[in-house]
Structure 1
Amino acid sequence: MEGALAVKSVMMVVIVALCGAVPTISPSQEELSKAQDYLSQFYSDLGVSSPSSTSRSALDPFEDTLGKMQEFFGLEVTGKLDTNTLEVMSRPRCGFTDVLRYGHFDGRPKWDKSVVTYRVTDYTPDLSQSVVDATLAKALKLYSDVIPLDFKQIDSDTADIMIKFKAKEHGDFAPFDGEDGVLAHAFSPGEGIGGDTHFDEDENWTLTSTGANLFLVAAHEFGHAMGLAHSQVQTALMYPTYVYVNTEGYTLPDDDRQGVQAIYGVRGTSALPGPRPAPTSEPSPDACSPGLVFDAVTFIGRNLYFFKDRHYWKRSSRWDRIVTGTIQSVWPGINKVDAAYEKGNTVVLFEGDHYWKVRGKTVLPGYPKPLTDFGFSRSVTKVDAAVHVPFKSKTLLFVGSRYWRYNEERGRMYIGYPKSINRGFPGIGYRVDAAFENRGYLYFSYGSQQKVYSSRGRERVLGILSNNRWMNCD
């Protein structure tokens, strides 16, 4: 890998899958030869001599290097090619040299910017493009949660991190080797190919324990793209070999967090070298506060979601349990929800001057889009509230003291809008923070209270509730 790659002064790393091994007590000449190749590839900086030589001076470097390998993997350090050592060597694995604890590339390369862009040029057919986008964003968020870097996906031009799914030879002088071997590789931060991340299309990419879990592999590779080398800690994300773990609620392990914070510093502090304590997470808003104000409310499936700042509360259809979490943990890339509504199996989420369409936890392809694509003028930079009224087949959107009616079938606003909120819905006031429909009634929230509104027959206010009445507060 000389020439073009060497000029760019970046180092390629790969992650691979585990496979079985056939233990043996007395290693054959073939096994000794494979061991030499293994040590030459992954411990070449230490120097390896042929194990077949009868010279004691020739055996010492081999035994010493073998001992380093045994030490790294937590094996008994014997310097001899025993059964356990052969088993570890039999596992397909990463092509980058092993290091102790968390490690960094020579010279500690890093991104000298606050926003790093990324772009996917070639997708896998194993998963939908929207699922791939959401999964990669979720993997990058592991790092942006703990270091002062943000990541932005672009769909044209050259990004800092170029991502593709390709099989065999794919243009970087490091061809992939087919299914169940090398899963992916990445380059350390830098110009040109620096940071680029490639996935082997011959693998079966999934989000489960079968095949290659894209989230786990991407999270590992993005660690290299941030400047991390490999770790000796078996529970670390940057451990050389791939092992599936439950990804529900997955956060960056301590060893990896300390390693990347040693390069960039801690999120919310200056990027000084050296490990830092874990950052404190943003506290959830007080759901039982008498002054609770909602940013948005909507049903998603059979659950009612209440949004506030970067968090949400989910009230189950059984009305007996409330779950809280961060918005980005469900929809990576969306920081805050200003307004939301559900129509069919699709949910529209508004944030600032853009909106997303999602199904479940998946952002649909092509989003976010600007509010102008929804039919608003450029003067509208934020939607305050939104609600779809299924029994009237209408969608209402609230901005300031006015509201619009949206035609879902034609994808445009109805003629004659916007109109005054106070005149269109007498009694609810002049502003709306959040709105939702439940069992034929509309709920319009402003400040810490909401008006229950009848829109069947005679339209009128039926009552007033405190927002926290939905939060199971005593």
Structure 2
Amino acid sequence: MQLAVLCAVCLLPGSLALPLPREAGGMSEQQWEQAQGYLKKFYPSNSKTKDANSLEAKLKQMQKFFRLPITGMLNSHIIKIMQKPRCGVPDVAEYSLFPSQPKWTSKIVTYRIVSYTRDLPHVTVNQLVTKALKMWSNEIPLSFKKVSWGIADIIIGFARGAHGDAYPFDGPGNTLAHAFAPGPGLGGDAHFDEDEHWSDGGSIGINFLYAATHELGHSLGLAHSSDPNAVMYPTYGELYSKDFKLSQDDINGIQKLYGKRSNPEKN
């Protein structure tokens, strides 16, 4: 009898699907797996406690960040947010290699563009990076100087897949770009996924000026904002106009780091 039971157990299929946890909220197994990957990437935890690292806790963090009801349960609205193109920098915890809130101590910050996208002329990329940096320097006592070779504070470039840091790009969609907070080495550097289609804002594609302004905000020391009107909001929308401006939230954040410009210049 025991042998018969044992044989019956051995013949059971080995890939019986386990029921999804309560926090999956009735979503499909594929949606739940995608959500787990998203939460681990953009809501990391430095805590050693099991509760802080649970998917429910991370869901609550995401819901709080995006100003949603805090239930700890997955739903279709959260799935839609997770599917939007976005910056690769996490929304919580330290997103850089460096502690606290670093900033540049020099009044003149150098930058260098080491690689370009095939979607835009080099001169257009140069102009858009200059314009993005000017949006920030209009508000703070900091200026930027472009260098053509050698060491620079901020290195800007386009790349595909693995590109020399610990954060490989993932192909078209999803993560568009990422940047590091001020500091040595990778500090301040901004990387853009060449697998995206980049635009000057006047054609179909990702508005490079908008993305560059966002990433260079990280290069200056800003984290993500939960204000949907802020340039530092983590997800990318399709309707950003060519003439967008920094929100008051962006301005308050950058001036908290560097102070106000005594003679503000406006475009």
TM-score, normalising length from structure 2?
Answer: 0.79
| CA deviation map 1:55-110 (0-9, x unaligned) | xx97994434322222221222222222222222233433333249xxxx842111
Q: Partners of 1:266 and 1:202 in 2: how far apart?
A: 37
**Are 2:109 and 1:112 aligned?**
no
Confirm or deny: 8 A CA contact 1:47 1:65 kept in the other structure. no
Confirm or deny: 8 A CA contact 1:40 1:48 kept in the other structure. no
Q: Partners of 1:122 and 1:65 in 2: how far apart?
A: 36
Confirm or deny: 8 A CA contact 2:89 2:178 kept in the other structure. no
Provide the residue aligned with 1:141 in structure 2.
Answer: 134
Provide the residue aligned with 2:17 in structure 1.
Answer: none
Confirm or deny: 8 A CA contact 1:165 1:201 kept in the other structure. yes
Q: What's the secondary structure of 1:45's corresponding residue?
A: coil
Match of 2:171 among 175, 178, 183: 178
Match of 2:88 among 95, 105, 112: 95
Q: Which amino acid aligns with 1:139?
A: A
Q: Which amino acid aligns with 1:154?
A: V
| CA deviation map 1:131-187 (0-9, x unaligned) | 111110000001110011000111121111111122222222322222223221111
Confirm or deny: 8 A CA contact 1:75 1:84 kept in the other structure. no
Q: Partners of 2:57 and 2:168 in 1: how far apart?
A: 31
Match of 2:241 among 246, 261, 284: 246
Q: Shift in Å at residue 130 of structure 1?
A: 1.3
Q: Partners of 1:179 and 1:62 in 2: how far apart?
A: 26
Matched-pair identity in %: 44
Q: Which amino acid aligns with 2:225?
A: S
**Are 2:196 and 1:237 aligned?**
no
Aligned CA distance change for structure 1 residues 254 and 46 (closer, same or farther; 3 Å): same
Q: Partners of 1:68 and 1:132 in 2: how far apart?
A: 36
**Are 2:250 and 1:217 aligned?**
no
Confirm or deny: 8 A CA contact 1:25 1:83 kept in the other structure. no
Q: Which amino acid aligns with 2:256?
A: A
**Are 2:35 and 1:35 aligned?**
yes
Structure number with greater CO (CA < 8 Å, separation at least 6) is 2
Provide the residue aligned with 1:157 in structure 2.
Answer: 150
| CA deviation map 1:410-452 (0-9, x unaligned) | xxxxxxxxxxxxxxxxxxxxxxxxxxxxxxxxxxxxxxxxxxx
Q: What's the secondary structure of 2:213's corresponding residue?
A: helix
Q: Mind listing any 5+ residue stretches in structure 2 that lack a counterpart?
A: 1-23
Q: Partners of 2:255 and 2:178 in 1: how far apart?
A: 22
Q: What's the secondary structure of 1:44's corresponding residue?
A: coil
Q: Which amino acid aligns with 2:259?
A: G
Q: Partners of 1:151 and 1:235 in 2: how far apart?
A: 26
Confirm or deny: 8 A CA contact 1:118 1:159 kept in the other structure. yes
Match of 1:77 among 55, 63, 70: 70
Aligned CA distance change for structure 1 residues 60 and 206 (closer, same or farther; 3 Å): closer
Provide the residue aligned with 2:11 in structure 1.
Answer: none
Q: What's the secondary structure of 1:152's corresponding residue?
A: strand
Q: Partners of 1:60 and 1:97 in 2: how far apart?
A: 15
Q: Partners of 2:148 and 2:46 in 1: how far apart?
A: 43
**Of the two, which has the highest radius of gyration?**
1
Match of 1:128 among 103, 121, 125: 121
Q: Which amino acid aligns with 1:199?
A: F
Q: Partners of 2:154 and 2:186 in 1: how far apart?
A: 8
Aligned CA distance change for structure 1 residues 84 and 151 (closer, same or farther; 3 Å): same
Q: Partners of 1:141 and 1:177 in 2: how far apart?
A: 30
**Are 2:21 and 1:26 aligned?**
no
Provide the residue aligned with 1:201 in structure 2.
Answer: 194
Q: Partners of 1:256 and 1:84 in 2: how far apart?
A: 26
Confirm or deny: 8 A CA contact 1:99 1:232 kept in the other structure. no
Provide the residue aligned with 2:44 in structure 1.
Answer: 44
**Are 2:179 and 1:190 aligned?**
no
Q: Which amino acid aligns with 1:179?
A: P
Confirm or deny: 8 A CA contact 1:48 1:61 kept in the other structure. no
Q: What's the secondary structure of 2:219's corresponding residue?
A: helix
Confirm or deny: 8 A CA contact 2:178 2:190 kept in the other structure. yes
RMSD of aligned Cα (Å): 2.8
Q: How does 1:243-282 map to 2 (within 5 A)?
A: 243=237, 244-248=239-243, 250-268=244-262, 281=264
Provide the residue aligned with 2:13 in structure 1.
Answer: none
Aligned CA distance change for structure 1 residues 204 and 89 (closer, same or farther; 3 Å): closer
Q: Mind listing any 5+ residue stretches in structure 1 that lack a counterpart?
A: 1-23, 50-56, 269-279, 283-325, 330-474
| CA deviation map 1:299-329 (0-9, x unaligned) | xxxxxxxxxxxxxxxxxxxxxxxxxxx6xx4
Confirm or deny: 8 A CA contact 2:178 2:192 kept in the other structure. yes
Aligned CA distance change for structure 1 residues 60 and 150 (closer, same or farther; 3 Å): closer
Aligned CA distance change for structure 1 residues 281 and 118 (closer, same or farther; 3 Å): closer
Comparing both structures, which one devotes a greater share of its residues to helix? 2
Q: Which amino acid aligns with 1:132?
A: V
Q: Partners of 1:263 and 1:68 in 2: how far apart?
A: 25
Confirm or deny: 8 A CA contact 1:207 1:215 kept in the other structure. yes
